[in-house]
Chain A
Amino acid sequence: AQSVAQPEDQVNVAEGNPLTVKCTYSVSGNPYLFWYVQYPNRGLQFLLKYITGDNLVKGSYGFEAEFNKSQTSFHLKKPSALVSDSALYFCAVRGDNTGGGNKLTFGTGTQLKVEL
């Protein structure tokens, strides 16, 4: 079975400071990893993904994530946070050999709050 852990329910950051939202995963086979963002009263927006290749993945709105196979982690980062980044962030995983085909497992979400 595959699983995702987001250990922090909430992360608070001052605007202009770097931010990190943590994610660890468990999956059989090679992982396909994703980050999504959900703004209030909106659906999920795709931010970035790791399928293969470089461990550092760059995505939308200046976000990036680093795949670490030995630590089974895929932490989301941004060098300089903006107030507008305040939202709910979800990490998701699926294995490359998932029999059910493309079934994603989501973490519980991390609420990011960026303050002035």
Chain B
Amino acid sequence: SAVISQKPSRDICQRGTSLTIQCQVDSQVTMMFWYRQQPGQSLTLIATANQGSEATYESGFVIDKFPISRPNLTFSTLTVSNMSPEDSSIYLCSVTTGEQTQYFGPGTRLLVL
């Protein structure tokens, strides 16, 4: 398994500002993922964060809005840029282990006013 922490756990932000979310894993992992869970909804994959290369974004998500960094095998950041109330969601970091299982962090609860 993997132990994943995220910072901040929650935040309230003003529209037009940006927030950077950090994800730390207790072991080295090849693939890290960022998901969004809008209120009352399921999880939607934003992007896959690859160490040493650009993140791979899913349809509907762009790098200008959600820039991602992956400086090493245990850490990644997701920035939510120029926020609007529609960005209010839970943002979840996830990693895949050698057991073919994805483990999730506790999430960052974002409210944009």
Residue ranges of A at the interface with B (Cβ–Cβ < 8 Å): 32, 34, 36, 41-46, 49, 51, 90, 92, 100-104, 106-109
Asked whether, in the complex, the Cβ of A43 is within 8 Å of the Cβ of B101, the reply is no
Residues of A within 8 A of B100 (CB): 32, 49, 51, 102
Asked whether, in the complex, the Cβ of A106 is within 8 Å of the Cβ of B105, the reply is no
For the complex, what is the distance from the CA of A63 to the CA of B30, rounded to whole Å? 30
Residue from A90, A92, A100 within 8 A of B48 (CB atoms): A100
Asked whether, in the complex, the Cβ of B107 is within 8 Å of the Cβ of A43, the reply is yes
Residues of A within 8 A of B33 (CB): 102
Residue from A32, A43, A92, A104 within 8 A of B105 (CB atoms): A43
Give chain A's interface secondary structure class.
Answer: loop
Asked whether, in the complex, the Cβ of A34 is within 8 Å of the Cβ of B48, the reply is no
Asked whether, in the complex, the Cβ of A90 is within 8 Å of the Cβ of B42, the reply is yes
- Chain B residue, CB-CB nearest to A103: B45
For the complex, what is the distance from the CA of A49 to the CA of B101, rounded to whole Å? 8
Nearest-neighbour CB distance to chain B for A45, whole angstroms, equals 8
Asked whether, in the complex, the Cβ of B104 is within 8 Å of the Cβ of A102, the reply is no
Asked whether, in the complex, the Cβ of A43 is within 8 Å of the Cβ of B104, the reply is yes
For the complex, what is the distance from the CA of A102 to the CA of B41, rounded to whole Å? 21
For the complex, what is the distance from the CA of A103 to the CA of B102, rounded to whole Å? 9
Asked whether, in the complex, the Cβ of A34 is within 8 Å of the Cβ of B101, the reply is yes
Nearest-neighbour CB distance to chain A for B76, whole angstroms, equals 15
- Chain B residue, CB-CB nearest to A4: B42
For chain B, residues 23 to 45, give those with C-beta under 8 angstroms from any C-beta of chain A. 31, 33, 41-43, 45
Question: Given A100-B48, A107-B42, A109-B42, are A44 and B104 neighbors across the interface (CB < 8 Å)?
Answer: yes
